[in-house]
Every structure is written in structure tokens, then in C-alpha cells.
Amino acid sequence: EAGVAQSPRYKIIEKRQSVAFWCNPISGHATLYWYQQILGQGPKLLIQFQNNGVVDDSQLPKDRFSAERLKGVDSTLKIQPAKLEDSAVYLCASSLARHEAFFGQGTRLTVV
Amino acid sequence: AQKITQTQPGMFVQEKEAVTLDCTYDTSDPSYGLFWYKQPSSGEMIFLIYQGSYDQQNATEGRYSLNFQKARKSANLVISASQLGDSAMYFCAMRDATYGNNRLAFGKGNQVVVIP
């Protein structure tokens, strides 16, 4: 079974630029998560989708971050414009309902 | 509010010995799930073990076991017979319906270094 796929693995951008991350979850997983993990901290949930609907985006900085999940499968997370404090690893995960979540390898973003 | 606490400083453990990682949680939802994940230096998050709030027995998965003390709201991970490959960050996570959405939230993690 293929795991959660994320791209790119690494991205370096200048502040005020925009960036997008892509995630393809495990086939059949209705729930998809985007987490932000700042160095030395635990993952922080940014947004959670159930199929193609948003069920939790309370911790998403909506003035600069946006996310969508097309047809209940792939998802993209965008930052526009980026700030220095957005430097982090962005993790995508998927799960079946209340089961464990499976994670992709993450995208390491550096904002300079 | 949902909250997961991991407060231990970095731990050094001798190879082949056991190590216990502490996790306490707080939730108002009677139905919840507790998870432990491993994150080695390569960065991937690896699922280790799961305990449901209504499970009568402590979960075990190979060398991993979960010491679940519901009244104390504690879900400690025990790794037996430590191996060098166990060196990693370990995160406790909880899923509940406090926000009506089965949010999966993580603690800050415990650093474990296994020494030969």
C-alpha cells in the first residue's frame, strides 16, 4: 500500500514570496491533516479535512495560509505571503475516521 | 480543552534497558484515543501504539507497551530492551471529539538517546 506522498521535500523562499505544498493521502482515507512542526516542537494542527470539507481550521492563520482538498483526495497548502516565522516542516497525514494517522515525509520550508 | 503534556527532559538510556516516557492528558470527552509516534532524525512520523479510552487492557505492540492509568489521565510509553535505532523524538497524541471533529493533537515530545 502506498503511503502519504508529499512534495516538494525542501523549499527555500524569500519572505513575502508565496509557496505551495502538495499532498496525496493514502487511498480511501477520508480524513486529511496538515500540521506545522517548528524545530524542537510537536506538530501543530493547521487544518483537518473530512473528505473535501473542512472540519477544523481554527489554528490556520487565514490571513496568509489557505488549503483545499480537491474531490476529497489530493490537497494543497499555500502560504502567501510567507514570513520568517513560517520556517518549519509541513506534515501531511491521513487516516480512516478515528484510527491512527499516517504521515508523509514532510516539506521542510526555509524562509529567508 | 484538549491538552497533552510531556515534560521530561532529554533521556539517555543504556542499550537493552527499558525506558518509560511520560504523557498526561486532559479532555472532557469520555471517548478518546491515545497514540504514540516516533520521529527519528530523518523526520518521518512513525505510528507505534494506540490505546482507546474504553479499552480494558493496556496496549502492547512488540517492544512497546502503554501504561494506561485512566483515573490519573496518564498514558506512559514503555520501550523494553532498547536498541540504538530507538534514538528519536517520541510524541504522545490524543484524538477526542471536544471540538466535534476528532482532532488529533500532539504533545511537545520526549527526546531519547540510546547509548551502547
Q: What is the mean pLDDT of each run of 10 residues along chain B (116 residues)?
A: 82 96 92 94 93 94 96 96 97 82 86 96
Instruction: Say if strands A19-24 and A5-7 run parallel, antiparallel, or are unpaired.
Output: antiparallel
- Considering only the beta carbons, identify the residue of B43, B101, B106 that sits closest to A42: B106
How big is chain A by its Cα radius of gyration, in Å?
A: 13
Distance from the Cα of B78 to chain A's closest Cα (Å) equals 19
Mutate to test the interface with B, among A48, A100, A102, A109 (most CBs of B within 10 A): A100
Rounded Cα distance between A72 and A25, Å, is: 10
pLDDT at B82: 97
A76, pLDDT greater than 60:
yes
A89, pLDDT greater than 70:
yes
Q: Which pLDDT tens digit goes with each residue over A11-50?
A: 999 999 999 999 999 999 999 999 999 998 999 999 999 9
Q: Say which residue the cell 483545499 belongs to.
A: A68
pLDDT at B101: 67
Q: Say which residue the cell 472540519 belongs to.
A: A55
pLDDT at B1: 54
The residue of chain B nearest to residue A108, with distances taken between CA atoms, is: B43
Mean pLDDT of A85-108: 92
B68 vs A29, B81, B95, B96, B110, CA distance in Å? 28, 20, 15, 16, 18
pLDDT at B49: 96
Q: Centre a 10 Å sphere on the Cβ of residue B92 and count the other Cβ atoms it contains.
A: 27
A68, pLDDT greater than 70:
yes
Query: In chain A, pLDDT over 70 holds for what percent of residues?
Result: 99
Q: In what helix (H) or strand (E) does residue B67 lie, and over which residues does it extend?
A: strand B64-69
pLDDT at A45: 93
- Considering only the beta carbons, identify the residue of B50, B91, B101 that sits closest to A56: B101
Tell me which amino acid residue A109 is: L
A86, pLDDT greater than 80:
yes
pLDDT at B60: 96
pLDDT band for A1, please (50, 70, 90 cuts).
Answer: low
Give residue A91's region: left, alpha or beta (phi > 0; psi -120 to 50). beta
A63, pLDDT greater than 90:
yes
* A86 contacts A92 by C-beta, under 8 angstroms: no
